[in-house]
Amino acid sequence: MLNDTRIRNARRTSKPRKLTDSAGLYLEVRPTGAKLWRYRYRIEGKENVFVIGEYPEIGLSEARSERDNARKLVKEGIHPRNARKAILAAKIHENKNTFQAVAGEWMEQHKPKWTPAYLRQVDKFISINVFPFIGALPVRSVTSAHLLEIIKRVEKRAPTVAFLIRQWISGIFRYAVATLRADGDPTTALKGAISRPKVEHHKPLETVEIPKLLRKLETYRGYRSTAIALKLLLLTFVRPVELRGAEWSEFDLVACEWRIPAERMKMREPHIVPLSLQAMKLLRELKTINGDNRFLFPNVRRPKAYMSATTLNRAIEYIGFSGKFSAHGFRSTASTVLNEQGYRSDVIERQLAHAPRDKVRASYNQAQYLPERKQMMKDWAKYIDALVAGASVVPIKRKVG
């Protein structure tokens, strides 16, 4: 039996020599001075040698432990070196399946279902807040403790983002489990670690505020196209991102229709926006400003891109509505007034391009209720004009007895 002193004092000779321990384990001292742990065993009557490792990186007790593990494999008829190769191959495979790689696959899988803007948001937040900490780790080795540290770090500055990141990471792990690269979702242990932030719905404009805002826009000192964009949001009540990314090819100025393709819509379905005479007038003016560009609202600094997300809200702040209203609030403004005036909720919801609540309604196409929607949009534009003209109470839908 070997001991540490004998191993340490073993001197090299001109030929390799063996220092025997027990149960097939021995230390081979090479002429170079290297000391290698080896395990001799037999399978099917044939002698084989398994190299455990080099001393002193592997000490005596560790070498004996590795020998014991190898003996168990030999009893099952398995060559230890084959088992080692299999483990190494599994580790290499696992190392290729990093969290970042799996997350990239997950995003690619959802790409057809998401709007480009939402895809950019997910990619940006995960790239900044998650990848620097666990992106290079094999997805199977990421723990709840890793994720808790990340989420708590984000929660300090942006609670809503932290909540979204936890949801997205959970989606990534569910995908990893489904593709046999993870055993479970470690975010399940974090339920309750952060609470869902209170949702602040986009505030609608009070009726008396609508003409004030429009008059302010007439004296707005920024780009005229920005003022036109805000007016078009009021007249069309599309989502700001749908307006900012609008292309001239989507507009039929003869039929007075704007057809937004599915890939630019939140619900991934094409959407028709009937255009009132007031909206058409603004579009013709805009045509003289940006008609040579692909986009109605090109980015001032990057003409090949469209208007940034902050431009509209900054303009709203500039004209004195800071904290009172946001660009997205034009939708809730129109919805509130039109519902109060007695328009059918289905017509309003269809024009807002909201998701249908059941399968029957989901089967309707983008042209559903189009005649009613065209009339509603005309009435809405006239209602806005009347408010600006000074009317205090403006019914926009005649009740039918």
138: domain CATH number is 1.10.150.130
Query: How many domains does the chain divide into?
Result: 3
Is 197 inside a domain boundary?
no
Q: For residue 401, what pLDDT band results from cuts at 50, 70 and 90?
A: very low
Model pLDDT, residue 303: 79
Which of 245, 285, 301, 296 is CA-nearest to residue 116? Answer: 245
Per-residue b or e along 359-392, where b marks 16 or more CB atoms closer than 10 Å to that residue's CB: eeeeeeebebbbebbbebbbbbbebbbbbeeeee
Do 325 and 316 form a contact (C-beta atoms < 8 A)?
Answer: yes
Same-domain status, 246 and 177:
no
Average the pLDDT over 279-288 and give the result.
96
Model pLDDT, residue 343: 92
Does residue 184 have a pLDDT over 80? yes
Which amino acid belongs to residue 378?
Answer: K
Which of 371, 366, 373, 363 is CA-nearest to residue 270? Answer: 366
Same-domain status, 41 and 60:
yes
Does residue 110 have a pLDDT over 90? yes
Q: For residue 156, what pLDDT band results from cuts at 50, 70 and 90?
A: confident
The sign of the CA dihedral 164, 170, 173, 178 is: negative
The residues annotated as belonging to the active site are 239, 266, 328, 331, 354, 364
Same-domain status, 12 and 81:
yes
Same-domain status, 226 and 329:
yes
Is 202 inside a domain boundary?
no
Same-domain status, 215 and 325:
yes
> β-strands 25-29, 251-252: how paired?
unpaired
Same-domain status, 216 and 329:
yes
Same-domain status, 237 and 312:
yes
Do 273 and 260 form a contact (C-beta atoms < 8 A)?
Answer: yes
Same-domain status, 291 and 370:
yes
Is 288 inside a domain boundary?
yes
CA–CA distance from 353 to each of 77, 246, 271 (Å)? Answer: 66, 16, 7
Does residue 192 have a pLDDT over 60? yes
Is 242 inside a domain boundary?
yes
Pairwise pLDDT comparison (7 vs 303), residue with the higher score: 7
Is 396 inside a domain boundary?
no
Same-domain status, 25 and 88:
yes
- Among 141, 156, 190, which residue terminates a domain? 190
Give the domain CATH number at 357: 1.10.443.10
Is 49 inside a domain boundary?
yes
The side-by-side arrangement of strands in the sheet containing 25-29 is: 17-20, 25-29, 35-43, 46-55
Same-domain status, 163 and 182:
yes
Same-domain status, 348 and 364:
yes
Residue 258 has phi, psi (to 5 degrees) of -120, 120
SS3 31: coil
- Among 94, 114, 149, which residue terminates a domain? 94
Same-domain status, 345 and 383:
yes
Model pLDDT, residue 361: 47
Is 204 inside a domain boundary?
no
Do 271 and 265 form a contact (C-beta atoms < 8 A)?
Answer: yes
Give the domain CATH number at 36: 3.30.160.390
Write out the residue range of the structural domain in which residue 146 sits. Answer: 99-190
Crossing angle (nearest 10°) for helices 224-236 and 209-218:
150
Does residue 90 have a pLDDT over 90? no
Please report where in the chains the tokens 């790689």 appear, as a residue.
Answer: 101
Crossing angle (nearest 10°) for helices 209-218 and 370-389:
80
Do 106 and 181 form a contact (C-beta atoms < 8 A)?
Answer: no
- How far is the C-alpha of 136 from the C-alpha of 372, rounded, in Å? 55
Q: What is the mean pLDDT of the chain?
A: 88
The sign of the CA dihedral 82, 86, 88, 89 is: positive
Model pLDDT, residue 96: 76
Do 336 and 206 form a contact (C-beta atoms < 8 A)?
Answer: no
Is 73 inside a domain boundary?
yes
* Burial zone of 239 (CB within 10 Å; 0-12 exposed, 13-18 middle, 19+ buried): buried
Sequence-ordered strand ranges (E) for 125-191: none
The C-alpha angle with vertex 217 and arms to 212 and 222, in degrees rounded to 5, equals: 150
